[in-house]
Amino acid sequence: MDFFEPKSFGKKPDNSVAIYKVKNKVGEWIGTIFPGINKITTIRGSYIFDTAKLAMLAKMHPFHCRIMKEIFKTREEYLNQYIKAIGEKNYLFSFGPGKWDCTFKISIPSSDSMNTPVAAINMLEDKFSAITTSNNYSLRYELSEGNGNYVKYFKITVDCIQYLYDHYNDPIYVKSDWKPELMFLTSFWKE
């Protein structure tokens, strides 16, 4: 049966279903299905498909499991529950929070020496290196309304561990808009 044919489709819609192959309790991403536009994307390319054929496959090979959704106050609580879950016989797989504990923004005033987003990011990397290593944060400049007036300042988004946020204090390059990462665990269990 030929279910898919190669096709590029530009911008991806918001609704999607990720497909993972799970072996020994480790998930490997296989592709993502976009049912609203009859598209699937994999590491090799994008394809169109017939939704009716996909529904037929789902009926032929149903996936029966119990889904548990939990929210935690700290990463440590999440990790303890995750370690406990993977030791259980009927545990299949799970997904949880990303690497970072929080996100915040830093406004960098524009000047002759600070005239590009790259210069602003490089300056922040120098400051952060005095606090922690580079694998504990990620910096990005987003093209958005908040960054539309880059003549006056650059607003850099920082994804990081809590330690960096707690220990970064600068009177000129001020941090703002702190948002914690949601500590959650969505786990799938054999019925």
Segment 28-68, tens digit of pLDDT: 888 888 877 888 888 888 888 887 887 888 889 887 889 99
Residue 77, CB half-sphere, CA atoms under 13 Å: how many?
10
Angle subtended at Cα 161 by Cα 157 and Cα 165, rounded to the nearest 5 degrees:
65
Is the residue at 4 inside a domain? yes
pLDDT band at 147 (very low <50, low <70, confident <90, very high): low
- Determine, yes or no, domain membership for 71: no
Q: What is the pTM of this model?
A: 0.64
- What pLDDT score was predicted for residue 71? 96
Judge contact between 85 and 185, C-beta under 8 A. yes
Q: Which domain holds residue 15?
A: 1-63
Number of domains in the chain: 2
For residue 84, is it within any domain? no
Residue 57 falls within a domain, yes or no?
yes
